[in-house]
Amino acid sequence: MNRGLTASNTVSLPQDDRVGGLPAAIFLLLALVPFAAGFGPESYVLGLFTRVMVFAIAALALDFICGYGGLVSFGHAAFVGIGAYAVGILGAHGITDMLVSLPSALLASAIFAYLTGNVCLRTRSVYFIMITLAFGQMAYFIAGSLAPYGGDDGLTIRLRSTLFGFAILQNDRSFYYFVLLALLAAYLLFRAIVYSRFGRVFRGARENPTRMSTLGFDVFRFQRVGYVIAGAVGGLSGFLLANATQFVSPAFMSWQRSGELIIMILLGGLGTLHGAIIGAAAYLLIEEALGGITEQWKLIFGPLLVLIVLFARGGLLGLADKIRGRLGRA
């Protein structure tokens, strides 16, 4: 169903693939945060922006399958949670080396994506949303029933991941840059994929899957590969989240979290990649800001979402385009 939702309503992909001004600016700003943070409550600011970047990674993956691939997954948080639990469970058994926990996180999420993708991707978009939602719930309940690993209450992680025994992530600043690097890597990865041969088929499958199969493409397999990649990157986000909070809980995989991820990509601008980063930042920062003002901030946020859907299609980037257009005309 292609009723023109993306920030770019006209083209499937902008011709220019130079990492343009805006994405570069975003990364530059993010790189400068730790310096600016020194002027305020440093660990709070660092922690906040670390979280922004961690969720941005998950949002990037979601934007890839949803914004470019047309696969609206309402269970994306499950991949994040699985990645996080990989860290938690290994940690509970004394294994903290990231050379073990990171690949484990990626692999676990990828496997979950493969198995659930096999079921979801056979169905129409309509069912797809609900089935991904259901699988997300399944992961949530399984995590909650793992009594040895905290069950519903979750599990604390004593130490952040180490490398060859060195606790290189324990320092908040170094961890921040580690996450920034991961975000940059994820961004560049998806950027490349989207313009690649695979990406073209993946995007085409969104426009017209029947047409694609009559060209000779096994649409199901292409979508499954894309879904697994997105799942693995979600697992990366989870690995980082577990390290950031030094805590894992089933709540990481709740459907509300999946919903929040969708909100992020919509907020920033669907199908733009850097929109996912903007959206993650916007959502989390608004949540922080409003939450600080009033406990009832959700009373404002809920209707705000409805208004955004009704009137601000294309998210923040779409709005920016519109404003730029108006200013250009003025």
Partner 1 sequence: MSTGLVVVQILNGLQFGVLLFLIAAGLTLVFGVMDFINLAHGVQYMLGAYLAVAFYALTGNFLVALVLALAAALVFGLLLEFLIFRHLYDRDHLEQVIATFGIIIFLNQAVKTVWGAAPLTLPIPEFFSGSIVLMPGLLYPVWRLVIIGSGLAIGLLLYILVGHTRVGMLVRAGATNARMVSALGVDIHRLFMIVFGFGTMLAAFAGAMIAPILSVEPGMGDSVLILAFVVIVIGGIGSMRGAFLAALLIGLVDTLGRSFAIDILRLVMPPSPARTVGPAIASMLIYVLMALVLYFRPSGLFPARGRG
Partner 2 sequence: MPDPVLQLDDLHKNFGGLVVTDGVTLDIGAGELHAVIGPNGAGKTTLINQISGLLAPTAGTIRFDGVDVTALPVDKRAQLGLARSFQITSVLPRFSALENVALAVQARGQTSYRFFGRADRERTVNDTASAALGEVGLTDRGQTLAAHLSHGEKRALELAIAIAMQPKLLLLDEPMAGTGHEESARLVDVLKRLKGRFSMLLVEHDMAAVFALADRISVLTYGRILASGQPDAVRADPKVVAAYLGEEME
Instruction: Please give the residue ranges that form the binding site for partner 2 (CB under 8 A).
Output: 2, 10-12, 15, 17, 192-193, 195-201, 203-204, 207-208, 210-219, 222, 225
3-state helix, strand, coil in the chain (%, to 5): 75, 0, 25
Binds 290: which of partner 2, partner 1, none (CB < 5-8 Å by kind) = none
Read off the tokens for 194: 């989207």
Q: Residue 256's binding partner, choosing from partner 2, partner 1, none, with beta-carbon cut-off 5 to 8 A by kind? A: partner 1
192 binds, among partner 2, partner 1, none (CB under 5 to 8 A by kind): partner 2
Residue 114 or 177: the one with the smaller Cβ distance to partner 2 is 114
For the bound state, the minimum distance from the C-beta of residue 198 to partner 2, rounded and expressed in Å, comes to 5
Q: Residues with Cβ < 8 Å from 133, sequence gap 6 or more?
A: 74, 75, 255, 258
Task: Compare residues 30 and 265 and give the one whose CB is closer to partner 1.
Answer: 265
Label residue 230 exposed, middle or buried (CB < 10 Å: 0-12, 13-18, 19+): buried
Contacted by 263, from partner 1, partner 2, none: CB < 5 to 8 Å by type: partner 1
Interhelix angle for 255-268 vs 315-329, to 10°?
20
Distance of alpha carbon 204 from alpha carbon 68, whole angstroms: 9
CA dist 47 → 83, 136, 172, 286 (Å): 20, 27, 8, 15
CA–CA dist 64, 274 (Å, integer): 11
Kindly tell me which of 76 and 160 has the beta carbon lying closer to partner 1.
76
- Residue 322 touches which member of partner 1, partner 2, none, C-beta under 5-8 Å by kind: none
Alpha helices in 169-273 (DSSP H): 172-195, 197-207, 209-215, 219-245, 255-268
Measured from the CB atom, the residue of 87 and 106 that comes closer to partner 2 is: 106
Residues that bind partner 1 (CB under 8 A): 1, 3, 5, 66, 72, 74, 116, 118-119, 122-127, 129-131, 133-135, 137-138, 141-142, 144-148, 255-256, 259, 262-263, 266, 270, 296, 298-299, 301-306, 308-310, 313
Determine the Cα–Cα distance for residues 104 and 125; give it in Å rounded to an integer: 30
Taking the least distance from each CB to partner 2, the nearer of 152 and 207 is 207
Q: Which does 215 bind (CB under 5 to 8 A by kind): partner 1, partner 2, none?
A: partner 2
How far is C-alpha 28 from the geometric centre of its chain's CA atoms?
A: 20
Nearer to partner 2, 10 or 296 (CB): 10
The CB-of-223 to partner 2 minimum distance in angstroms stands at: 13
